[in-house]
Structure 1
């Protein structure tokens, strides 16, 4: 390993610690001096280094994560918008509404209402009554190998686990080289239904597509995703709204498709970087494995 690579790994480790601390303490004051200490940097230079290394300011990261959490809360229950806004760090409902609308394309109340226009189907409900439609295609896919870390808990907090996977390969100096040249292909494998399993018990794998012979070390493991026919739903919008897309896929598309799901978990293929586009512009493809 060259000196340049080892230096890069040291910086990556610093900022991964900071990112984890921020994600774990969104409701606490995020003191600049404390964050600089975690990064082992002078407070005079920490913010400039963070922006140059990550591509977003600390304030942008905190805002993005708090609004991401707020979007999930708006769709999850009937907590007052004002309460959710205060938890997101806004002193008034008006300030929260403006910030949320900039990121998510509509005010919180409208976002909540729009996210609930497709309720779960009852046994005798006709699918023609559904108001939302999504693009679904059938395609035969090649098997994929993921270098993944296991995630246990709220799916809305899986970004931390993806960060650890990226840090693992960066520490090896593998990113941007050989088969990992170019933007990494990030995949999330989700084993449980968040509408039925307690958030603390939800299981997932956060991974990076790698060659099958890739060597990894604990806590990174290789996860094999079978190839074959998949129903692929292309979704554009915030990650918090993906639950509605799953309900439509299983409750409307699947019963009308004439297809049967295979004995394998769904996975999500993330086609955009949430640090680079507004939440409303995220593009995700949900893959539902099908029987041949």
Structure 2
């Protein structure tokens, strides 16, 4: 078996394990079971996974469950006890403790006072939050990505596939920028039909094999909002951009897609420290 064939086997195994994790977050995910799906011994597989993704399998599962829980707290009326059970915690106290250690406050308080609360309308219907908007002119950006269909909160699944594939093919580069391209309006299109692409910048990568695809974002002028905080809170920032900033700016939208650039890594910083720049295309 040559090196290229061996890496192709790792690529397929990474994809299988990542898909299984995302499809079975509600279940008890046994680490030995995941090694079986990868068709490797637990001893070796866990080391390969950590070398590629920079975290253990167990850490990935816990991070994804916390991310989904934050989305449920912000975006649904589910009771916190239900969310805790769905996230695999044995009791509400354990969930409260872990959630507070990561998000800075317990889940019930986060539902009322998390960073998304800054975008809540006042009694007169106006949103009180104010953000600095930077106007930037950028050149076109060449991207390579993996398509995602479904809730934007779950685009991380395609980012997992993207980075696993890039590493397995020897294409990953430290200077790559992480970018998410969003093709539909989540207030209009059903969540399971939303289309997006998990991307990295790739000026010198020739893409010939799926699941990778070549794409790009247009150059031109953009209004850029820098958001600090969990990804679960960002939908409100979009609403503020459209409802508050755009009418007051006197600017017109350009018929092009919005995109996000992720300035740090959710594996390396807590959700409260995540930095994202939202790009709105202007005519």
* TM-score, reference length from structure 1: 0.87
2:40 equivalent in structure 1:
41
Cα distance in 1 between the residues matched to 2:108 and 2:92: 11
Matched, 1:289 2:281: yes
2:119 equivalent in structure 1:
118
CA RMSD in angstroms, aligned pairs only: 2.4
Matched, 1:151 2:148: yes
Alignment of structure 1 residues 1-292 onto 2, 5 Å:
7-114=6-113, 115-119=116-120, 125=125, 129-176=126-173, 182-211=174-203, 214-291=206-283
Deviation of 1:144 after TM superposition, in Å, equals 0.8
Cα distance in 2 between the residues matched to 1:89 and 1:265: 37
| Cα pair distance change 1:5/1:103, threshold 3 Å | farther
Could you tell me which runs of 5 or more consecutive residues in structure 2 were left unpaired when the two chains were aligned.
none
Deviation of 1:51 after TM superposition, in Å, equals 3.1
Deviation of 1:146 after TM superposition, in Å, equals 1.4
Cα distance in 2 between the residues matched to 1:167 and 1:57: 14
Deviation of 1:173 after TM superposition, in Å, equals 2.4
Question: Which 4+ runs in 1 deviate beyond 6 A?
Answer: none
3-state SS of paired residue (2:55): coil
Deviation of 1:285 after TM superposition, in Å, equals 0.5
Q: How many residues align?
A: 281
Cα distance in 2 between the residues matched to 1:77 and 1:83: 11
Deviation of 1:9 after TM superposition, in Å, equals 4.9
Preserved CA contact (<8 Å) 1:232 1:286: yes
Cα distance in 2 between the residues matched to 1:288 and 1:121: 25
Deviation of 1:239 after TM superposition, in Å, equals 0.6
Cα distance in 2 between the residues matched to 1:235 and 1:93: 30
